[in-house]
Amino acid sequence: MRRILLVSILLMMALHVSAQNRTVTGKVTDVADGSGLPGVSIVVQGTSKGTTTDAEGAYSIDLVTGEDILVFSFIGYKTQSIAVGDRAVVDLPMEGDATELTEVVIVGYGEQRKSDITGATATVKGEELTRQPVLTATQAMQGKVAGVQIISSGQPGTSPQIRIRGVGTALAGTTSLYVVDGVLTDDISNINTSDIIDMSILKDASAAAIYGSRGANGVIIITTKKGAAGGLKLNYNNNIGIRQASNLVEMANAAEYSNYVQAATGKAPTASGYDTDWYDVILRNAWQQTHNLSLSGGTDKGTYLLNVGYLNDQGIVVDNSFKRFTVRLNNEYKLLENLKFGLQSSYGNSINQNGFGNVDIDAFGNIGSVYSDAYRSAPIIPSIVDGKYGNTSAYQNVGNPLLDVKNNSIKVRENRLQGSSYLEYKPLSWLTLRTSIGADWRSSLNRGYYYQFNADESTFVTSGGNQYRSLSSLNVKQTTSFRWVFDNTASIHKSFNKHDFTLLIGTTAEKYKQEWFSANRSDVPADPDLWYIGVGDANTSQNDGGGDAWARNSYLGRLNYNYDGKYLLTATIRSDGSSRLPSQNRWRQYPSVGLGWVLSRENFLQSQNFIDFLKVRASYGKVGNDQIPTDAYTLRVAVNKPYPFGGSTTNGSQINQIIDPNITWETTEEYDAAIEFELLQSKLSGEINYYNKKVENALIIIPIMGNLGDINGEVVTNAASIENKGVEVSLTWRDEINDDLSYSISGNATFNNNHVVALNGGQAIWGGSIGAAQGYTTYTDNGHSVGSFYVLQTIGVFNSEAEVAAYKDKNGKVIQPTAKAGEFKYLDKNEDGVIDDNDRVFAGSYQPVAYFGADINVKYKNWDFGLSIYGNAGNEVYNGKKAVRVSGTDNVEKDIVYNRWTSANRSQTEPGANVGNLPASTYFVESGTFARINNLTIGYTFPSSFLERIKVSSLRIFATSQNLFTYKKYSGFTAELPGNPTDSGIELTSYPTTRTIAAGLNIGF
Amino acid sequence: MKNKSFLGIVLICLLSLACSDSFLDVAVQGGVTTTTDPKLAEKLVTGVYNSLLQGDSWGDGDIHGFAFITVTNIISDDADKGSTPSDQAVPVGDIDNFTLTPTNKFAETLWSGNYNGIGAANQALAALATAAIDTDQRDVWMGEVRFLRAYLYFNLVRMYGGVPLVFRVPKDADDANSDITFKTRASVETVYDSIENDLHFAIEKLPLKNNGHVTQGAAKSMLAKVYMYQKEWDKVFQLTNEVINSGQYKLVEDYATIWRQVGNNSIESIFEIETGEFNNANLKIDNYTVSQGPRTGGSGGWDDLGWGFNTPSTSLVNAYEEGDFRKEATIISIDNSGTRKGTVLWDGFRIPSSDSVQNLYYNYKAYTSRESESYAVSADKDRPKNIKILRYAEVLLMNAEAALQPTVNQPSFAESSMKLIRERAGLEPKASYTIEDVWKERRVELAMEHDRFWDLVRQGRAAAVMHAAGKTNFVEGKHELLPIPNSQILLSGNVLAQNPLY
C-alpha cells in the first residue's frame, strides 16, 4: 500500500507540469458488498470545488492543472484522499468507519441508526462501564451523558439515584425504567456490569414515548452480551482494590472538646485520659474485588455465552459488606433461515450484611444512627477497652457508635432470576414478527438479630445509661415477587426509490405480584446457628404480612420514515392501561413526533470538507408516570386498632385517611430541539440540545388541616405542574496522531432550570424534616425549585448585649430579647418583631444549575490512559448532621472550635460555643458545588508477539482509581445526597463516599 | 394473497391480548376496604377508643402522651419540666416557661391528635348510621362515640378556646380545602353547646354498666365537669348528685392503689383511658410512663426508669397538709439525705440516692412495677398505664365546689363530700369549707392528674398563681390558651384566627 502511494506521488510529481484540463470519472462502492454509494462527497483538495456521487455511486469531475488530489468523504466511511495521477477513471471502494453515527442504537422494540434518530438518546459502551470499580452500571455511567444526573451512594449494594433532565415529580416514583433484554425493571443491582454490551438512554419524551407511562423518568435500555460465531473464547477479568472514606469531617479531639464544652456550658467535662476519634473507630479501609469468567462461541446456527461473576465489596463502615454471585447464559439459535430463537437469562445471589435501611429496628440498633452517634459522641469516652465499651450513653445519652454496629447482625439474602426469550420470524423480506416473554423472580430474606446486653459492667467500662437491650430478638422478613412481560410486535420495513419506511405495531402486557411476611420473637440465644424463629419465646411472637399486585397493558405503534437519509420523521403512539389507576382514568394515549433534517446530505453542503455531518432535529412527545402506590385511589381501613375494655382487648379499626378517588397519571410534555454535527474529518463531533419538559398533574401530597380526620394530614392528589428547561452540550475531539498515538477528549454539560409552575389550588409542600429541634427545612412552592431550602436567614452574630438590645423592629421592639452575645442574629423578614417560621427565606435548592462530565482517553503504543471528571455546580446542600447536635455534651467539628465567635474573634458566620438545638437557618445551608476525578485508569495491553509465546489471545493489565480527588466547598462528607424530590440534598445519616484504588487484569484465550 | 394471510397472523397475535378488559382489574392486595368488612361499624367504635391512646407527640398526633403531660402538668405549678435542663428545652421547656410560639410542636400534635380522634368518631358515626345492626345496640354505640367526641372537644376547648367544629369527614382534598367551616373557629360557647349536645345524647342512650365501655355515669360526670367550666353550678350540683346517688361508685380504700395496675377499672373509676396488651405486645399510650420515669444523673451507675420529665414541684410538695397519705402516694422523693439509703418504692424497687439521679422528685402516679405488675413486655421501660380521666373523688369535689356556690348554697353537701375525701387521705374533716378549701383539696387529691392548669384558668387565677410560682413569663389574657398551631393557620390560608397576643 505504502509503495503504491509512493509510486503515485512520484508519478504525480512527474506529471505535474504536463497536466491539462481533464475529466475524471469513477464509481464509489462499499468495500463490504460492492454496492454503489450514493451521495459521497468528492472535493478537490485545497479548493471548494466538488461533486457528489449519483444514485449508483458514479461521479464525474473536471480538474484543471494542479488539481490532483480528490478527497472522498461519506458519513459512516473513512475519508480518503486519492492522488489521481494521469488516470481518467478512479474507482474507489470505501471502507466503513464505525463512528457513533452509523452505530445502531437500541430505541425500544427495535433499533435505529444514530444518524436517523429524531429524539434525544445516548449510548454508553460496556467497556467504558467495566473500567470503573463500581457496583452498578448506573454508577459507572456518571458524568458520561449530558442530561443524565447520577447521584451515587458509597454504600455497598445500593443503587444510585438517576435524574434525567431534572426533577419532574414531587411524589410519584422517580426511578428510571430499566429494560434489560426486554425485561422491565427498576433495579439493576443484580446485573453484572461485565455482562453489558451497551446502555441506551432515551432522554426525551419523544424517544421514550414508545414506553408510554413507563417513560416519564427516562428509559435505560441494557443489552447484554451474546456469543459470536467462531471457536470457543474464554475470557477472565478481575479487579481487586481497596476502599476508604474519601472526605472525612474532622471532629474536635478531647482537649478541644473540653474547651468548647466549657465555653458552651460553663462546666468542663471531667478529663478521662481518652481521646477517641469516633469516625476512626467505625470506619475502615475495605477490600473490594470482582472476578468474571466468560465462555462464548458458536456456529452460524447458534451462539452461546456463559458469564460467571463474583463481587465482594466490604463497606467502609465496620461489619458492612455486600457479596454477589451472578451467572448469565445467553443463547441464540437460527432455527430456520428466517426463524430465530433467543434466550437471555441471569441468576443473581447476593448477601448484604448490616446495610443501612435493610430492616427497621429500634433507635439504638439502627445502623443509620451510627453516623449521628459518631458525630455526637464525646472524644473523652473510649470506644472499647478490654472488650468493654465506653459508655457514651451514660455520659451524654448518645449510643456508643461501635456498639450500635456490633449489637446487631442484619443480613439480607436475595436470589433473583431474570430472563427473557424471544422468537423472531421473518416470513417476508420486509416483515418481522417477534414475540417475547420476559420474567423477573426475586426472593429476599431479611434477617435481623439483635443481641441482648446490659447497661452494666458486663458490657460497658462504666455502668448506666440507656443503651442496652434486655431481651435479644430476631426479626425475619421474606419477600417474593414475580413479574412477567409479554411483548408482541410486527415490524414492516419497505424501501423504494429514496423512501424508507419502518412501521412497528405491537402490544405489551405486564403483571406484577409481590408477597411478604415477617415474624418476630424475643429471647433467641446469641449463637447464629440458633437464629430461627422457632427457637424464640413463643409468648413474644408476632407476625405480619402483605402483598402488592398490578397489571399494565399497552398498544404501541411507531413509524420511521426517511427520505434519502435527509428528511427524517418518527411518529409514535402508545395507549397505556394501568391497574394502579381508577377505572375512569385507566387508559391514556401518549403520542410523539420527531422531525430531522440531515443538512450534510444536501447538495449545497457537498462542496466543502469542513462539515462531515450536520443534522437538526426537533421533537414533541408526551409520556406518563404511574409510579404511585397501588392503593392510592382506594380508601383502606386501618385494621388492628384494639382497645382493652375492662382489661380484655377487643380488636377495632379506624378510617383515618382521606384519599382522592380520582387519581390520574402524571403527564410529561416535552419539546426538544437539537443540532448534531461532525466536523474536520469527524475529529470534532458534538450535539447541542434544548429541552423544555413540563409535567402536568404532578402528584403531590397536599397537606390538609389537621382537623379533618386524616391522621397524617395529607392527601395525595394530582395538583402541581413542574417545569424543567435546559440545554445539554456534548463535544468530542478525537484524533489519531500516528499509528502509535491516538487520543480523545470529550466533555458534556447540562444546564437545567427546575421550578414549580403552579400548585393549582394545592398547597406548598414542607419537606426535609430534620427532627424535633428544626422541623422541616424545605418548601416546594410556586416559582421555586422542587425541594428548595426554606429557613431563617442569619445576618450575623451578636457581639454584645448592647447589639441584642439595639436589634429592634420598626416599632422599637427588641426582636431577639433572649439572645446573648455570640448567638445568631436572624432576619425578621416579615418585620413583626418576632423571629419565627414566618421569617423563613428561600435559600436555594439541591438541584444543580449545571452538571458536567469530561473524559480524556489516550492510547500510546500498548498503553492506554483514561481520566473522567464529574461535577455539579450551583446547588445547595443542608448540613443536617450539624443540626443533630442537640445537647451541650455533644461533640463538635474541629473547625467550629477554632472559628467560633468569641469576644476576641468576632466571627459573623460561626456562632459562639453553644449547646446545639439551633433553629433551621442559612447557617446549615452550604454550597453543593463539587468536581472530582471520578476515574483514573492506566492500562497496558501485551503485544501479540509476546502473547503468542504464552498461548494467550489477549491480555491487558490495569490500575484504576475511583473518586481519587474531590474538590468541594461543602464541609460535610459529601455533597452528593440522594433523596426524595422534596427532601434531597440533606446530609443526615449518609454513608460516606468512598475512594477506591484497584488493579486488575483481563485475559482472553 | 400470501401477504394477506401473514397480515392476518400478525393481527391475531396483536389482538390476542386486547380482549381481556378484566386484565387490569387488579384489586388492592391485603387492603380492607369499607365494603369488605361486614363488622366495620362495630370495629370503628373500638377504633375511636383506640385513638385515645395516641402519644405521637413529635409526629402524627397526641391525645394522652407526652404532649398532654406537658400542657396539663408541666405547664402548671404542680410540676417542673424535669430531666436535664437542655433536654426537650424545645418544645417542653418553652411550654413550661411560657416562651412557646405558634410553631410549638406539641401544640401542633395535640391539635391533630384530638382531631384525629374526632375524625375516627365521625367515621364511626357515619358507618353506624347505615350499618345493618340492632337499633338498641346502634344507640349505645352512638352514645359511646358521641361521649368520646364530646370529651375530645372538651380537651380542645380547654387548650385552644373556640375551635372549628368538624362533624363530618371530607370526601377528598378539594372538599377538605373548600369547606369554610373546617377553617373557622366556632365560639367557645358554640363548642360547649356541641359538647353538651353529644353528652346529653350519651346520657340518654348509655347504660349504667357497659363492660368497660363508657357508661351513663361517665357521661353525667363529664357533663357536670363541662358545666363546671362554664360555671353553671346548679347543673353541676344536680348531675353530681345523680352520679353520687346512682350507687355505682365509691372511693377505694387505699388512695395509693388508684394508679397501680390493681386500681384499673376500680369502683372509683368513672372514665379511664385503658391500656393492656395486644399481639404479645404492650398496648399503651406511647411514652406516657417512660417520659416520666426517674432518670439517671450525677454519677449514674443504674439502669434508670425513664426520661425524668414532669417532676413534682416544691410548690406541690409543700401543698400537702401534715399527715396527708396522698403526698407519699403522689410523689417519689429521691433520697437527698447524704446517707445514700435511696428510695424504696411500694414494690421493693430501690432508686439510688440523689447523687445518681437527675431530679429530686418524680411522679409516683406514672410508676409501673416491672416485678409486681404484669405486662406483655415487662422489659419495655414504656409500660402501659391507665389514666384516670374521671374518678369518683372528682365527682365529690365537683359536688362540694358547686354546693358552696352562692347560687346553689348547700354547704352540707360540701361537708359530706369533703369528709369522704379527707378521711381517706388520713386527714380530719373540717367543720366547714370555703371554695378555696375545695380548690386546695382538689389540687392535692388530683395532683399530677392533668387538671391543675385548667383548674387555675377556670378559677380565673392562673396569672396570679403562675407568677407566685415564679413563672413570670405568664401573660394574662394570652397564656391561658395554647397558640393555634401556625401550620394549621397556614393550611387554612390564614382563615383560622390566632389566639390573642400570640
Greater model confidence, A991 or B309: B309
Confidence of residue A99 (pLDDT cuts 50, 70, 90): low
Number of residues assigned to chain A? 1005
Distance CA(A873)–CA(A414), nearest Å, equals 38
If you average pLDDT over residues B176-180, what whole number do you get? 83
Beta carbons of A605 and B8 less than 8 angstroms apart: no
By C-alpha distance, which of A856, A867, A992 is closest to A934?
A: A867
Contact A815, A946 (CB under 8 A): no
Neighbours of A969 (CB within 10 A): 12
pLDDT of residue B106: 95
Over 70: is that where the pLDDT of A12 sits?
no
Find chain A residues with C-beta within 8 A of B281's C-beta: 542
- Please give the average per-residue pLDDT across A978-1000, as a whole number: 83
Measure CA of the first residue to CA of the last residue in chain B; give whole Å: 86
Annotation: CATH topology of B37-206: 1.25.40
Give the B window 338-367 contacts with A, CB below 8 Å.
none
Mean pLDDT of chain B: 92
**Is B33 at the interface with chain A, CB within 8 A?**
yes
Cβ pair B377:A639 closer than 8 A: no
Q: What is the pLDDT of residues A507-554, one digit of tens each?
A: 999 999 999 999 999 999 999 999 999 999 998 898 999 999 999 999
Beta carbons of A643 and B49 less than 8 Å apart: yes
d(CA B148, CA B156): 12
pLDDT, tens digit, 9 for 90 and up, residues A558-569? 999 988 888 999
The answer, yes or no, to whether residue A176 has pLDDT greater than 90, is no
User: Amino acid identity, residue A569?
Assistant: L
Which of the pair, A943 or B151, is modelled with greater confidence? B151
Residue A48 scores a pLDDT above 80: no
pLDDT, tens only, A103-117: 777 777 877 877 788
Domain ranges, ordered by start, for chain B: 37-206
pLDDT tens across A696-717, in order? 888 777 778 889 888 888 888 8
Determine the pLDDT at residue A356. 63
Side-chain-side CA neighbours of residue A463 (13 Å): 11
Q: What pLDDT does B19 receive?
A: 46
pTM of the model: 0.80
Q: Distances in Å between the alpha carbon of A732 and those of A113, A128, A618, A760?
A: 19, 15, 22, 43
Q: Extract the C-alpha cell encoding A138.
A: 448506573
Put simply, whether A462 touches B (Cβ < 8 Å) is yes
Residue A63 dihedral angles phi and psi, to the nearest 5°? -120, 145
pLDDT value, residue B335: 94
- Which grid cell is A68? 490532483
Please tell me the distance from the alpha carbon of residue A86 to that of residue A106, in angstroms, as a whole number. 47
pLDDT confidence tier of residue A886, bands split at 50, 70 and 90: confident
Per-residue pLDDT averaged across B129-139, rounded?
Answer: 92
Sequence letter at residue A966: T
The pLDDT of residue A772: 58
Chain A residues within an 8 Å CB radius of B483? none
The answer to whether the CB atoms of A652 and B182 lie below 8 A apart is: no
Contact B274 A836 (CB under 8 A): no
- A465 touching chain B per CB within 8 A: yes
- Taking CA atoms, A917 is separated from A721, B87, B152, B286, in Å, by 36, 10, 33, 24
**pLDDT at residue A100 in the model:** 53
Residue A2 has pLDDT above 70, yes or no: no
- Give B428's strand partners: none
Nearest to A639 among B32, B120, B485 (CB): B32
Grid coordinates given for A51: 461533486
| Residue range A483-501: mean pLDDT, rounded | 89
pLDDT at B379 over 90: no
Lowest mean pLDDT among A607-611, A809-813, B363-367: A607-611
pLDDT at A845 over 50: yes
Q: Which residues fall within 8 angstroms of residue A602, CB to CB, at 6 or more apart?
A: A566
> What residues of chain B lie within 8 A of the CB of A888, using their CB?
86
Mean pLDDT of A648-652: 92
A643·B44 Cβ contact <8 A: no
pLDDT digits (tens, 9 = 90+) for A231-285: 888 989 898 999 988 888 899 999 999 999 998 888 888 888 899 999 999 889 9
Distance of alpha carbon B59 from the chain centroid: 17
pLDDT digits 0-9 by tens, A961-972: 988 888 888 888
**Looking at the partner chain, which of B13, B44, B48 has a beta carbon nearest the beta carbon of A433?**
B13
**Could you tell me if B282 lies within 8 Å of chain A, comparing CB atoms?**
no
- Pull the grid cell for residue A231: 471457536
Select from B319, B313, B258, B267 the least CA-distant residue to B441. B319
- Contact status of A458 with chain B (Cβ, < 8 Å): no
User: What was the pLDDT predicted at A167?
Assistant: 82
CB A291 within 8 A of CB A238: yes
Confidence of residue B452 (pLDDT cuts 50, 70, 90): very high
Q: How confident is the model at residue B11 (pLDDT cuts 50, 70, 90)?
A: low
Check residue A97 and give its pLDDT. Answer: 65
Residue A692, all three cell numbers: 423544555
Using an 8 Å CB-CB cutoff, list chain B residues near A917.
Answer: 86, 89-90
* DSSP code of residue A168: -
The answer on pLDDT for A10 being more than 50 is no
- Decide if B276 and A888 are in contact by the 8 Å CB cutoff: no
Is the previous residue joined to B91 through a cis bond, with omega within 30 degrees of 0? Answer: yes
What pLDDT, on a 0 to 100 scale, did the predictor assign at position B55?
94
- Return the pLDDT at B223: 98
- Candidates A173, A171, A216; CA nearest to A700 is A171
Rg (CA), chain B: 26
Nearest-angstrom CA–CA distance, B226 and B271: 14
Say which CATH superfamily domain A104-230 falls into: TonB-dependent receptor, plug domain (2.170.130.10)
Q: What angle do CA B48, B53, B54 make, to 5 degrees?
A: 95
Q: Is the pLDDT of residue A1 over 50?
A: no
Other Cβ atoms within 10 Å of A452 Cβ, number? 18
Q: How confident is the model at residue B253 (pLDDT cuts 50, 70, 90)?
A: very high
Structural class in CATH, domain A2-94? mainly beta
Distances (CA, A) of B300 to A379, B233, B349, B381: 19, 51, 16, 17
**Helices first, then strands: H and E counts in chain B:** 18, 12
A121-134 tens-digit pLDDT? 888 888 888 777 77
Instruction: Look at residue A9 and tell me whether its pLDDT is greater than 80.
Output: no
Instruction: Kindly determine whether residue B118 and residue A707, on different chains, have CB atoms separated by under 8 Å.
Output: yes
Q: Which of B48, B51, B75, B49 is nearest to B63 (CA)?
A: B51
Higher model confidence: residue B181 or residue A218? B181
Chain B residues with CB under 8 Å of A433 CB are 9-10, 13
pLDDT at A102: 61
- A55 in helix, strand or coil? coil
B431 contact A CB<8A: no
C-alpha cell at B91: 418544645
| Average pLDDT score over residue span A429-449 | 91
Residue B360 contacts by C-beta under 8 Å, 6 or more apart in sequence? Answer: B311, B333, B334, B336, B354
Higher pLDDT, A862 or A67: A862
Give me the residue spans of the domains in chain A: 2-94, 104-230, 793-839
E strand or H helix at A944: helix A944-949
Local structure of B80: helix, strand or coil: strand
Confidence label for B12 from pLDDT (cuts 50, 70 and 90): low
- Separation of alpha carbons A38 and A40, rounded Å: 6
Given a cut of 60, is residue A179 above it in pLDDT? yes
* pLDDT classification of A367: cutoffs 50, 70, 90: very low
| B chain contacts of residue A631, beta-carbon cutoff 8 Å | 28, 31
pLDDT tens-digit readout, B267-293: 999 999 999 999 888 999 999 999 999
Q: What's the mean pLDDT in A410-431?
A: 90
Listing DSSP states for A425-481 in one string gives EEEETTEEEEEEEEEEEEEEEEEEEE--B-SSTTTBSS--SS--BSS-EEEEEEEEE
Q: Cα(A915)–Cα(B452) distance, rounded to whole angstroms? A: 32
| Cα–Cα distance for residue pair B120/B111, rounded to 1 Å | 14
Q: B2: pLDDT confidence band, cut at 50, 70 and 90?
A: very low
